[in-house]
Structure 1
Amino acid sequence: METTNTFAGVPAPLREAIVARGFEKLTSVQEAVLSSEGTGRNLRISSQTGSGKTLALGIRLANDLISTDDASTVARGAEGPRVLLITPTRELAVQVADELRWLFAKIKGVAVEVVTGGSDISRERRALNKSPAVLVGTPGRLLDHMKSRRLNCSSFRQVVLDEADQMLDMGFRDELEAILDFLPKDRCSHLVSATFPAAVKRLADRFQENPLHVEGTRLGVANADIQHVAHRIRPRELNAAIINVLLHARGERVLVFVRRRVDATELAERLSANGLSAAPFSGELNQTQRTRTLNAFKNGEQDILIATDVAARGIDVPEIDTVIHADVPADVENYTHRSGRTGRAGRKGRSVLMVPAHSQGRVRRIFSSAGVEAQWQPVPSPAQIEKRYTKTFRRDLHAILADSSLVSKKQTSYAKFLLEQPEQRDPLEILAALLQMAEPKPALQGYSIAEVSEGSGHSRDSRGSRNPRNSGPRKKGSFGAVQSFEINWGTAKGATASRILSHLCRRGNVSSSVVGAIRLGPAFSTFEISKDSSDGFEKAASRPDGRDPNLNIRRSQGNSKPDYARRPKPHRGKRHDSYGGRAAAAGAGSRG
């Protein structure tokens, strides 16, 4: 009865679905949409990720889908789609559609279809011919169907722009303007955006008339269910710090944010080289790869995802335990949007920010604007990582002891056999031996990272770690003796300095700190490896490589030169890649 009263304002068929889904109460944005003031109005919702805005929109849209004759079961006439939701990415479109499908499941005749770029357009046309009540899509593909007259827009009664700020950031302004020209004038128009800069306000004013402003979560204010942690680091120890945090979070689902596509790829490869399975998620992947990667992350097959801000707009996974910011967010909205990927649906979460010493002031301002009381902590040490492993193991052991059904008869029989041996071993010795065998040890012990004191500046950053695998790029003139190598990969086959650097680190099992100048040629490229690391690199790089079997690495032979059309400048740019390598060549700074 109490649950029924909690959802008293929700239409009956939706209320049944919400209760069955396990919801106990509405969020603030859902309550605001249900208020009497919101009935029949155009809604302009400012809401952060994880606030329940999709469910709120579903509740608002349902009134135009349910027949007044029998509000519990029947959908209104299907002369064409009645509801249109526009999202910036395919992944977000699919997830919005999935949520609306279970929400509208008790309304007979309501079908939800998705049309997005990268999908089978013939299948979409067949689906549109069936006049689904609800259509979710991305701007480009929706406009294609509108222009071809495959999509009848005259029947739309409710239209939603979701993640409006990100659609503009991704360059969809022209498509959105064109879509608005196809839509009927007598529609209800709803707009959702985490932020409202001037460009979004102009679009909103063109899209809506007399909107009701609904503030689901105040802009820039972080979720109270999230623990915020900041680690002061030296830039050259970023990789090592991320590895330690991931080892300490063993068994958790972790989303790591980076700015650029190339950063996602390179960081994933560096983590994999250190025994941590991580997948990149960015615009460099084709649609099939993106879908496969995201599904693996959702299903728990992949625990660590490295994503760009743009690509992550399509990630809606409630069970993310930890978010790691590998670089400092652009602003408070960027920080709260990233952090909002965890601590969702009433779950607790953790947001971990890597803070170079020179960025401490900026980060404190972000925390202050977001109303966050962050915990400034040292990066987890190898001892803390091992202690966490032991604690997790003992917790699991006690869970098994508390439930005898988790122990097989075979194991019980062998335990009895051990205790009945004629040697009369002390049961304590047997138990200790079994614990020694069973207790897991991290495949990687973690790195020793010196604590950076508050207020440290660039001078402390430059000291760095003496561990070559933790070290960042060396300044020109301090690299020391080098050995030259060549690889049969040049610009004619898509080689860039950044791609070669990633390949060398993975193939040769080295840190980017030991890689010197990279010179690109049409068919071959040359590069330098620190003399101290060259033998180990050569041994590792000479092994067969299943990923790139046709790429061969060898020491440069005397004065012989690869097939260069011209000799480019050495790859020693002024700017260093914060992920341990030097600044990438052309194209490396593209958006995700």
Structure 2
Amino acid sequence: MTTNPALARALAERDYNDPTPVQIAVLAPEASGRDLLVSAQTGSGKTVAYGLAMADTLLGTDERFGPATAPQALVVAPTRELALQVQREFEWLYAATGARIVSCVGGMDPRQEQRALGRGAHMVVGTPGRLRDHLERGRLDISGLRVVVLDEADEMLDLGFREDLQFILDATPPDRRSLLFSATLPRGITALAKRYQHEALRIEVASAEGGHADIEYRAIRVVPKEIEHAVVNLLRFYDAPCAIVFCNTRETVRHLHATLQERQFSTVALSGELSQNERNAALQALRDGRARVCVATDVAARGIDLPSLGLVIHADLPNDAESLQHRSGRTGRAGRKGVSVLLVPPFRRRRTEDLLRGLGVTPAWSGPPTADEIRRLDHERMLRDPLLTDEPSEEDAAVARALLAEQSAEHLVAALVRLYRAGLPAPEEVADPGEPRGARDRAAQRGLDGPPGAAGGAWFSLNIGRRNKADPRWLLPLICRRGNVTREDIGAIRIFDNETAFEVATAALDRFSTAALKPDGSEVVIERLPGGPPASRPERSGRTKAPRWTPQQDKPARGKSFRDKPAQDKSAQDRSGSETRREPKPPGRGAGPRPHPSEGRPAGRKPRRP
């Protein structure tokens, strides 16, 4: 692979020792000086590839450019983020050549861009709409253009930039060199290449293996109401230096961004409603480490390169396989490893399998990380924390000796543990809807006995009942959070009209009482039931009868397991709640002779005419 000496030094300074397949292909001898039609996946090093391929045409054997006048190279990208990313890549790659690079993108001040163009440029990077605007107004002179690059050409066609691209390409000199890069090569791209390229060399390095070899795909089964909790646990489980959480709407981005901020995550939002300055500030916060999580719509699916990005979470499933590919391609770039996690409610499983099959990807299916798994990881990470492993300074050692003179070593270590945990967002209790829940969860669904450990515990009440659409799937995590206990500490759960009764294991009783009974201003009130467990009725005809529970003694209430359907015949019970006998239903159609139309009709009413 041959490279201009100035660019070779820039690559060495950045530790680019092993070129990617697409970089090797565009610098091969047969590609020198030719038009190129390149199919390469996102994250394969395309920007550096065409930056190196341009150098032979622009510089030849020279190491520096001459004075900046009319631009010699034009790079067209579909989004502002990608155009600015290309500019940043070119600035370090061509730093030693004296290249002047100007960006022209929507959302920025066009007058400032006009002044920059007036001072001269060697290269211009921009979006189709803004470049066309400058051309029509006479602000951009491309008569001396020697190379034009279309990056993510398929995306530009999808976004409706076909006319703008044709206008720009028609204005370029006929003898210029053109490099067309695209993740896919649909019919529109090949037609564009035939019209504007001359004997282009077609290069394909976009195999499914190459595009996903460094990305681990995970499919996480989630309860629809627990998606935000699953996001919290995934961020805590992987503890990536930088992560992106993708949502489908701006409203979802705003809500999830606020939720994660409230849970102590350093988070920024990125969506189309933000100004360009706000989007630049958000990306810069991710790059310099002031933020570790970005909640974004698909506006961030292309053109964003964050070197430390190790985790992509699809809180909302993408609309198609291509969107999934570009979202996931934000991680696992240029040889770095990454994880792409899809949150899949039960009714979305088939669609998820179709999306992944379209990419040729086989994911690992599982439930969301549990709170206990995250706590174990926290313990392991704390033991590896540099605060514990690094040798203390003399000043720190002196303070440690002074503290040991006042407190015991165990007391000081416990304080250190509390400080470490205080800076971590608390994990959530989440369910796995796709796997058997085990004896304890099946018992909770029936509203009968809980796990063996909870037997013999105390009973508590919660002021949420069937009329509030109570369901153990979200009641159980709520109880665990309020009481600072785990699922294994909760026994039977019985839901009534206005309240819910549940059992807490004896081993966790003190901890639960201290946390849950303390007033916190919440509308959810937990109280202890002094009378023990509520009574239940025997089963009849294969159905669990609703248990009867009277917490106020003077206001009887009827409760039931959450699987039971509401009674259809209110006359089946009298006002005291006692059971009355149901009369058998009359036979339906086909179950015997039909009665005469006059039978069963109220007296005095005339028969309806046929």
Counterpart among 73, 84, 88 of residue 78 in structure 2: 88
State how far apart, in whole Å, the 1-side matches of 2:227 and 2:323 are: 20
State how far apart, in whole Å, the 2-side matches of 1:393 and 1:374 are: 30
CA contact (8 A) 1:46 1:218 kept: no
Give the match for residue 75 of structure 1.
65
Give the match for residue 570 of structure 1.
none
Give the match for residue 436 of structure 1.
417
Which runs of at least 4 in structure 1 moved beyond 4 Å after TM superposition?
76-79, 441-444, 533-537
Q: Relative to 1, partners in 2 of residues 1:213 and 1:263: Cα closer, same or farther, differing over 3 Å?
A: farther
Give the match for residue 506 of structure 2.
none
Answering whether residue 395 of structure 2 is matched by residue 410 of structure 1, we say yes
Give the match for residue 19 of structure 1.
12
Shift of 1:365: 3.6
Aligned 1:577-588 pairs, distance under 5 A: none
Shift of 1:361: 2.8
State how far apart, in whole Å, the 2-side matches of 1:285 and 1:244 are: 28
State how far apart, in whole Å, the 2-side matches of 1:336 and 1:227 are: 12
Shift of 1:209: 3.0
Shift of 1:30: 0.3
Return the letter of the residue paired with 1:85.
V
Return the letter of the residue paired with 2:85.
Q
Counterpart among 337, 347, 351 of residue 348 in structure 1: 337
CA contact (8 A) 1:66 1:76 kept: no
User: What SS class does the counterpart of residue 300 from structure 1 fall into?
Assistant: coil
State how far apart, in whole Å, the 2-side matches of 1:358 and 1:15 are: 52
Normalising by structure 1, report the TM-score.
0.71
State how far apart, in whole Å, the 2-side matches of 1:51 and 1:450 are: 37
Give the match for residue 101 of structure 1.
91
Q: Which runs of 5+ in 1 are unaligned?
A: 1-7, 471-479, 482-532, 538-592
CA RMSD of aligned residues (A): 3.0
Q: Relative to 1, partners in 2 of residues 1:535 and 1:240: Cα closer, same or farther, differing over 3 Å?
A: closer
Q: Relative to 1, partners in 2 of residues 1:382 and 1:52: Cα closer, same or farther, differing over 3 Å?
A: same
State how far apart, in whole Å, the 2-side matches of 1:469 and 1:138 are: 48
Give the match for residue 586 of structure 1.
none
Return the letter of the residue paired with 2:57.
D
User: What SS class does the counterpart of residue 24 from structure 1 fall into?
Assistant: coil
Counterpart among 34, 45, 49 of residue 52 in structure 1: 45
User: What SS class does the counterpart of residue 272 from structure 1 fall into?
Assistant: helix
Give the match for residue 466 of structure 1.
474
State how far apart, in whole Å, the 1-side matches of 2:88 and 2:205 are: 22
Give the match for residue 218 of structure 1.
207
Shift of 1:225: 1.8
Q: Relative to 1, partners in 2 of residues 1:353 and 1:233: Cα closer, same or farther, differing over 3 Å?
A: same
Give the match for residue 426 of structure 2.
445
User: What SS class does the counterpart of residue 160 from structure 1 fall into?
Assistant: strand
Q: Relative to 1, partners in 2 of residues 1:324 and 1:445: Cα closer, same or farther, differing over 3 Å?
A: same
Aligned 1:208-287 pairs, distance under 5 A: 208-218=197-207, 222-250=211-239, 252-287=241-276
Aligned 1:2-17 pairs, distance under 5 A: 8-17=1-10
State how far apart, in whole Å, the 1-side matches of 2:199 and 2:476 are: 61
State how far apart, in whole Å, the 1-side matches of 2:420 and 2:65 are: 57
Normalising by structure 2, report the TM-score.
0.69
State how far apart, in whole Å, the 1-side matches of 2:8 and 2:238 are: 37
Shift of 1:220: 8.2
Q: Which runs of 5+ in 2 are unaligned?
A: 438-444, 446-469, 479-496, 499-519, 525-610
State how far apart, in whole Å, the 2-side matches of 1:40 and 1:343 are: 31
Give the match for residue 455 of structure 2.
none
CA contact (8 A) 2:221 2:433 kept: yes
State how far apart, in whole Å, the 2-side matches of 1:192 and 1:463 are: 52
Q: Relative to 1, partners in 2 of residues 1:402 and 1:232: Cα closer, same or farther, differing over 3 Å?
A: closer
Give the match for residue 306 of structure 1.
295
Post-superposition Cα deviations, 1:183-221, rounded to whole Å, max 9, x if no partner, equal 111111111111233333333333323222222332586
Shift of 1:468: 9.5
Post-superposition Cα deviations, 1:314-350, rounded to whole Å, max 9, x if no partner, equal 3211210100011223333322221111122332211
Give the match for residue 31 of structure 1.
24
Give the match for residue 184 of structure 1.
173
Q: Relative to 1, partners in 2 of residues 1:364 and 1:312: Cα closer, same or farther, differing over 3 Å?
A: closer
Answering whether residue 340 of structure 2 is matched by residue 332 of structure 1, we say no
State how far apart, in whole Å, the 2-side matches of 1:60 and 1:318 are: 23
Larger radius of gyration, structure 1 or 2? 2
Give the match for residue 528 of structure 1.
none
CA contact (8 A) 2:69 2:119 kept: no
User: What SS class does the counterpart of residue 318 from structure 2 fall into?
Assistant: coil
State how far apart, in whole Å, the 1-side matches of 2:300 and 2:158 are: 12
Higher mean C-alpha deviation, range 204-213 or range 379-388:
204-213
Answering whether residue 367 of structure 2 is matched by residue 378 of structure 1, we say yes
Shift of 1:381: 1.0
Shift of 1:57: 0.4
Q: State the identity as a percent.
A: 39
Answering whether residue 194 of structure 2 is matched by residue 205 of structure 1, we say yes
User: What SS class does the counterpart of residue 195 from structure 1 fall into?
Assistant: coil
State how far apart, in whole Å, the 1-side matches of 2:122 and 2:310 are: 35
Counterpart among 128, 143, 150 of residue 139 in structure 2: 150
Q: Which has the higher contact order (CA 8 A, sep 6+)?
A: 1
State how far apart, in whole Å, the 2-side matches of 1:453 and 1:290 are: 38
User: What SS class does the counterpart of residue 380 from structure 2 fall into?
Assistant: helix
Tell me the number of residue pairs that the alignment of Structure 1 and Structure 2 aligns: 455
Q: Relative to 1, partners in 2 of residues 1:184 and 1:452: Cα closer, same or farther, differing over 3 Å?
A: same
Give the match for residue 195 of structure 1.
184
Give the match for residue 167 of structure 1.
156
User: What SS class does the counterpart of residue 440 from structure 1 fall into?
Assistant: helix
CA contact (8 A) 1:194 1:333 kept: no
Q: Relative to 1, partners in 2 of residues 1:411 and 1:136: Cα closer, same or farther, differing over 3 Å?
A: same
Q: Relative to 1, partners in 2 of residues 1:455 and 1:192: Cα closer, same or farther, differing over 3 Å?
A: farther
State how far apart, in whole Å, the 1-side matches of 2:367 and 2:429 are: 11
CA contact (8 A) 2:33 2:56 kept: no
State how far apart, in whole Å, the 1-side matches of 2:433 and 2:237 are: 19
Return the letter of the residue paired with 1:83.
A
CA contact (8 A) 1:222 1:371 kept: no
User: What SS class does the counterpart of residue 175 from structure 2 fall into?
Assistant: coil
Post-superposition Cα deviations, 1:524-575, rounded to whole Å, max 9, x if no partner, equal xxxxxxxxx99849xxxxxxxxxxxxxxxxxxxxxxxxxxxxxxxxxxxxxx
Q: Relative to 1, partners in 2 of residues 1:342 and 1:464: Cα closer, same or farther, differing over 3 Å?
A: farther
User: What SS class does the counterpart of residue 64 from structure 2 fall into?
Assistant: coil
User: What SS class does the counterpart of residue 324 from structure 1 fall into?
Assistant: strand
